[in-house]
C-alpha cells in the first residue's frame, strides 16, 4: 500500500470517528437539529445530482418531490397507523411515479422550458397541499406525525435521530457512488456532454432521462419521509420555490456531477448561514457574497477546490521530506 493510499485511509477513519462522536460534543439541540437537517439535505442533493448534475437536465421542482414524499409517508403513518418505515417505502413508490411523470416531459422540452415545467409542478403540489384541508390539514399543517421506531425504540431525541439519519445518508452516498461510477453514470454524463453522439451509438435517450428523473425523485421522496417523521409537523409553506433553488445551489457550490461535492455543497449551504448568524441582519448578504466569490474563483465547485488544496499540501509535505533527506545525506 502506497503512502498516499495510507493517508487517504487514515483520513477516512478519522472522518468516520469524528462523525460518530458529533453528538458527544454537540450538546445544543438547535445545533443538532441543523446537523440532522443537513443529513436530509445530503440525501436530496445526491438524488438531484443524477438529473441536474450528470444528465444536465435542470430540475427546479425538488420541493414538490420533497413535499409528496413527506405527505405520503406522514399521512399513511398518521391516519392508517402503519409503521413510518412502510410510509417511507410508500414514499419511494411515490418517487417512482413522480420520476416517470416528470421524465416524459423532458423527452420533448429542455433548457428553460423544462425548468419552468418543474417549477410549475412544485407549485401545483404546494397549492394542493395548502387547499386539500380534509386530507393534508391545509395551511394549518399536519401535526402529530409519529417518529421512526425499531422494536419499540422511538427515535425521538436529536442524538438518536442523528445516528439513524447518518446511516441512511451513508447508504444513499454508497448507492450514489456506485451508480455515478457505473455504466449508468457514464451514460448520464455522455447525455449531458453530447446528446447527438449518444443517440448515434444506439442508446435509448428516453429511457436514460426517465431513469435519471426517477432516481432524483426517489432520493427526494426518501428525504421528504425523513423530514416528516423527524419534525413531527409540516406546513405547505415550507415547500416553496426557494427550497428548490436552495438544493440547486448546494449542487452547484459542491461541484456539479461530483458525489463528494454534493456532500460538501450541502454542508456549506446548510451550515454557513448558521455560522454567520452573529452578523445579525447582515448574515445573508455575507453568505451570498461568499457563494458568489466561490462561483467565480472555484468554478468547478468547492469540492474540487478542497481536493486541489489537499493535493498541494501533500506535494509540499513530500517536497519538505525530500529536502530534509537531501540535507541529511550531505
* String of DSSP letters for 3-49: HHHHHHHHHHHHHHHHHHHHHHH---HHHHHHHHHHHHHHHHHHHHI
Mean of pLDDT over the chain: 86
d(CA 325, CA 295) in angstroms, rounded, equals 41
The better pLDDT of the pair 107, 34 is held by 34
β-bridge mates for residue 149, sequence order: 154
Cell of 211: 431513469
Q: Is the pLDDT of residue 322 over 90?
A: no
Candidate from 8-17, 152-161, 255-264, 268-277 with smallest mean pLDDT: 8-17
Q: What is the pLDDT of residue 307?
A: 78
Q: Is the pLDDT of residue 203 over 70?
A: yes
> Stretch 14-41: mean pLDDT, rounded?
88
d(CA 316, CA 328) in angstroms, rounded, equals 18
Q: Predicted confidence band at 63 (pLDDT cuts at 50, 70, 90)? A: very high
Alpha helix ranges (H) inside 28-111: 29-48, 62-80, 84-103
Alpha helix ranges (H) inside the chain: 3-25, 29-48, 62-80, 84-103, 112-131, 133-136, 158-180, 183-193, 195-200, 205-231, 241-254, 259-275, 283-297, 302-329
Query: Which of 80, 71, 74, 87 shows the shortest CA–CA distance to 128?
Result: 71
Q: Predicted confidence band at 191 (pLDDT cuts at 50, 70, 90)? A: confident
d(CA 179, CA 190) in angstroms, rounded, equals 14
Q: What is the pLDDT of residue 207?
A: 83
Q: What is the pLDDT of residue 198?
A: 77
> Stretch 243-249: mean pLDDT, rounded?
92
Q: What is the pLDDT of residue 229?
A: 93
pTM: 0.90
Q: Is the pLDDT of residue 318 over 70?
A: no
Cell of 276: 454567520
> Are the beta carbons of 261 and 302 closer than 8 angstroms?
yes
Q: What is the pLDDT of residue 227?
A: 95
DSSP classification of residue 256: T
> Stretch 61-70: mean pLDDT, rounded?
93
Q: What is the pLDDT of residue 219?
A: 96
Q: Is the pLDDT of residue 5 over 80?
A: no
Q: Is the pLDDT of residue 330 over 60?
A: no
Q: What is the pLDDT of residue 199?
A: 76
Candidate from 67-76, 86-95, 275-284 with smallest mean pLDDT: 275-284
Cβ-Cβ contacts under 8 Å for 45 (sequence gap 6 or more):
247, 250, 251, 254, 262, 263, 265, 266
Q: What is the pLDDT of residue 68?
A: 94
What element of type H or E holds 257?
Answer: none
> Residue 142 region, left (φ>0) first, then alpha (ψ -120 to 50), else beta?
beta
Q: Is the pLDDT of residue 135 over 70?
A: yes
Q: What is the pLDDT of residue 4?
A: 61
Q: What is the pLDDT of residue 326?
A: 56
Q: What is the pLDDT of residue 86?
A: 94
Q: Is the pLDDT of residue 96 over 90?
A: yes
The better pLDDT of the pair 245, 199 is held by 245
What torsion do the CA atoms of 86, 88, 90, 96 make, to the nearest 10 degrees? -150
The better pLDDT of the pair 42, 23 is held by 42
Cβ-Cβ contacts under 8 Å for 206 (sequence gap 6 or more):
107
β-bridge mates for residue 150, sequence order: 153
Amino acid at each position: 500500500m502506497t503512502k498516499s493510499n495510507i493517508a487517504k485511509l487514515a483520513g477516512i477513519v478519522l472522518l468516520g470517528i469524528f462523525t460518530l462522536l458529533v453528538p458527544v460534543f454537540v450538546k445544543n439541540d438547535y445545533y443538532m437539529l441543523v446537523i440532522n437537517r443537513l443529513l436530509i439535505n445530503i440525501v436530496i442533493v445526491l438524488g438531484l445530482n443524477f438529473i441536474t448534475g450528470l444528465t444536465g437536465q435542470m430540475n427546479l421542482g425538488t420541493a414538490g418531490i420533497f413535499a409528496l414524499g413527506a405527505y405520503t409517508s406522514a399521512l399513511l403513518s398518521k391516519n392508517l397507523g402503519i409503521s413510518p418505515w412502510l410510509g417511507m417505502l410508500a414514499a419511494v413508490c411515490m418517487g417512482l411515479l413522480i420520476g416517470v411523470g416528470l421524465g416524459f416531459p423532458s423527452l420533448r422540452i429542455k433548457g428553460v422550458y423544462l425548468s419552468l415545467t418543474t417549477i410549475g409542478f412544485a407549485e401545483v403540489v404546494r397549492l394542493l397541499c395548502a387547499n386539500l384541508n380534509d386530507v393534508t390539514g391545509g395551511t394549518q399543517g399536519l401535526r402529530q406525525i409519529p417518529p421512526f421506531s425499531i422494536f419499540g425504540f422511538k427515535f425521538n431525541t436529536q442524538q438518536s435521530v442523528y445516528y439513524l439519519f447518518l446511516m441512511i445518508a451513508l447508504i444513499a452516498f454508497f448507492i450514489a457512488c456506485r451508480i455515478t461510477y457505473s455504466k449508468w453514470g457514464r451514460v448520464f454524463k455522455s447525455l449531458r456532454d453530447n446528446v447527438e453522439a449518444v443517440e448515434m451509438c444506439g442508446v435509448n435517450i428516453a429511457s436514460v432521462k426517465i431513469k435519471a428523473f426517477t432516481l432524483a425523485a426517489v432520493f427526494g421522496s426518501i428525504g421528504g419521509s425523513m423530514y416528516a417523521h423527524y419534525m413531527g409537523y409540516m406546513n405547505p409553506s415550507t415547500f416553496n420555490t426557494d427550497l428548490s433553488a436552495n438544493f440547486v445551489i448546494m449542487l452547484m457550490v459542491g461541484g456539479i456531477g461530483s458525489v463528494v461535492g454534493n456532500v460538501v455543497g450541502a454542508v456549506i449551504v446548510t451550515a454557513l448561514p448558521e455560522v454567520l448568524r452573529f452578523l445579525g441582519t447582515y448574515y445573508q448578504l455575507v453568505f451570498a457574497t461568499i457563494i458568489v466569490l466561490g462561483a467565480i474563483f472555484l468554478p468547478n465547485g468547492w469540492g474540487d477546490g478542497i481536493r486541489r488544496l489537499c493535493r498541494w499540501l501533500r506535494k509540499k509535505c513530500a517536497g519538505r521530506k525530500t529536502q530534509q533527506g537531501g540535507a541529511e545525506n550531505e
